[in-house]
Amino acid sequence: MDIAYGPGEWPADWIRMQEGTETPLLRKSFRVDKPIQKAVLCGTALGVFELRLNGNKLGDSHLMPGWTDYRKRVYYQTFDVRERIVLGENVLGAILGDGWFAGYIGPFGDKGYYGHDARFSCVLMLEYEDGSEQTLVSGADWRAIEGPVLKSDLLMGEVYDARRDEAGWDAPGFDDSGWKEPRCLVPGEELLPEAIEPFPGTPIRTVDEIRAQSVSSPAAGISVFDMGQNMVGVAELKVQAPAGTRITLRFGEMLNENGTVYTDNLRAARATDVYIAKGGGEEIWTPRFTYHGFRYVQVEGLPDDLPIDTVTGMVWMSGLKETASFECSNGKVNQLFRNIQWGFRGNYLDVPTDCPQRDERLGWTGDTQMFIRSASYLADIRPFFDKWLVDLHDAQAADGGYPDYAPYLGRKGYASAAWADAGVICPHVLWQAYGDTDVIRKWWPQMKKYMELICTGDNRHNGPDAESYGDWLNIDAETPTRMIGLAYRAYDARLMQEMAAVIEEDDDYIHFTFEAEKSRKLFRDAFFQGSQVAVKTQTACALAIAMELLDGDDLEQAKNCLFQCLEESAGYLTTGFVGTGYLCPALTKAGRSDLAVQLLLNEGSPSWLFEVNNGATTIWERWNSWTKEDGFGDVSMNSFNHYAFGAVCEWMFESLAGFRPAAPGFERIVFEPCLTEKFDYVKAAYDSIQGRVSCHWKKVSNGWKLKIETPVPARVILPDAVESVDGGRHEFLVENRAVRLCEV
């Protein structure tokens, strides 16, 4: 039932309780008296919901139907329920929660930004073997009651009173005479979405279960479970306790000095679940309508000597197919890669959030475009971005500006350099990774409108009074906002030129060819003062080199300036969100992969391995989120799961391991590994759209041995030699600066 419904076309009512609970139970009993050959159920909510049929949950996803700008659209999920319908009585059930629609959302203190009350709606279409059809819809003939979920909120947590469980409420034979008629939304009473559409993305699922590694008791009545991994999802609780026992679970990423869970960095998010025991034996409970970012779970209200299996971590993310592996001889770098993976998993949850634990969890456009190249290696992200690019364009301003985050909540700004550019960069990366031009064609008019805005003489993005977040969280090396904007303007124009060519928009190709050159000149004029580099920061130089904005002597000066900046910082980075992802690729393009390797292997602060040495299992928001000397960083903004600085992952695949696409969709591949004495071996693999790509190089007594696997023709670039190979497996020996092709 892939039908998009416009205003007034959806055939079902939007229902909820008449009064009371935020999280009601809803049910509808119906009869089927003859064989069916098709049964399709479509469910949606202004809020979040779980659908049930004849006593069982439908599907394996969480927080349906996801987050959108509900004023513009909401999605429905479709279920084939033919095998679950029985002759006789059947029962449809739904549990409804506030979710993003009516709960707390973002860092602005808003509750009910879109609406005050969550609502559920569904359509069940039955086709019988005799050719007749029947449609059942949500409406006033359903029944409703306050359920055991007393409160549910994505930021605050969930409260569940197991004493209110009603066994069999969603199954045939249940007496619902004490239930009430639901309240149907009256047309015009509240704003409804402009469209109701089939869900285009990948639902949130449980992708892993983590058992606690240890449990401690820092104080009487408090037990702290260490999951061993900073993760995103919920905690499954297994207990035996007297009826009415109130059990509180608090979540955090770090511990205080006294061993309790650190929550100061959560700001207004309470991130607290409460379970009230039913009594009478073992009880197992998993929250439905909240999620947390956490490594530690603090349990209060039970005896101190709890078994370690009291808490199990249920890992949630959008259920994407993961596609990458990486391993090397340095265990700390391996942990860094795992940290990047876990940061990706925790923040690709319906929208690409910046962080999953505090009162924020927004789809920041800057973080998204900075990490998308890395993400495209880690998983097949196409369905995820099919959905999020709709969110982004729903939020696009009338003048073409893209917002700072999407879905948009009416706060912060538009057309911020390095943030708004996600509207151009994300479709380009998806085309390069998967070779599909549909994503370009779909959003081409909108991308052109954005370029029209930022290529004017006076705009917020790169004009004389440009405003943006700059090189966010840099280390005392501020790059002018306008410089960043001019770099992205020129870079965007080149990407538009490439995309115009592939979709055969000839006039646009000519236009963006001209605009790319004009914008490069504007950048060059700002980057230099006379013949000298005017902006001597690692970020400015890295953008100039990695984005290919300079040529000839200008480029050589930028390279030398970058080397000098690194020398002045004792070989350590000073970059923030904007510069970090470009820094190692720029050094490799500048012929100094050795300096990029040094940056990767640095262990002092600031560095990636400093975090690893201090127990990180995800990427931190700040280079100094925690230090032994100063403790925790600024509590107003200090996430321990924030993937932006993990953008080095792209360089780890494309340079350190050494493979990258030479044509969109990996139709051709280049292998150019960074052979360095700093590693005994490096190996990585990626399941591309063409097939498996892998590269494994290791030191041997007389040089390096290289093994590659490619599904398509490839070039292999090694010291003093370039080889062309067909698809398959190949080996090379780099010996005394010479290269031999070995038989596999």
Catalytic annotation, residues: 360, 621
Residue 408 amino acid letter: Y
Shortest CA distance to 48 belongs to which of 90, 77, 19?
Answer: 77
Query: How many residues does the structure list for the chain?
Result: 744
Residue 580 amino acid letter: T
391 vs 398: CA distance, rounded Å: 15
Q: Are 225 and 249 in contact (CB under 8 A)?
A: no
For 458-494, the three-class secondary structure string (H helix, E strand, C coil) is: CCCCCCCCCCCCCCCCCCCCCCCHHHHHHHHHHHHHH
Q: Are 414 and 450 in contact (CB under 8 A)?
A: no
Residue 98 amino acid letter: D
Token output for 53: 């049929």
Written as one string, the DSSP assignment of 329-395 is S-HHHHHHHHHHHHHHHHHEESEE-S-SSSS----BHHHHHHHHHHHHHHB--HHHHHHHHHHHHHT
Q: Is 572 helix (H, G, I), strand (E, B) or coil?
A: coil
CA distances from 501 to 6, 508, 681 (A): 35, 8, 40
User: Around 29, how many Cα atoms within 13 Å sit in the side-chain half-sphere?
Assistant: 13
Shortest CA distance to 224 belongs to which of 138, 171, 298?
Answer: 298
Q: Are 476 and 569 in contact (CB under 8 A)?
A: no
Residues with Cβ within 8 Å of residue 165, at least 6 apart in sequence: 148, 278
Q: Are 648 and 581 in contact (CB under 8 A)?
A: yes
580 vs 563: CA distance, rounded Å: 15
Q: At which residue do the structure tokens 């840099």 appear?
A: 474
Residue 720 amino acid letter: D
Shortest CA distance to 267 belongs to which of 637, 622, 643, 625?
Answer: 637
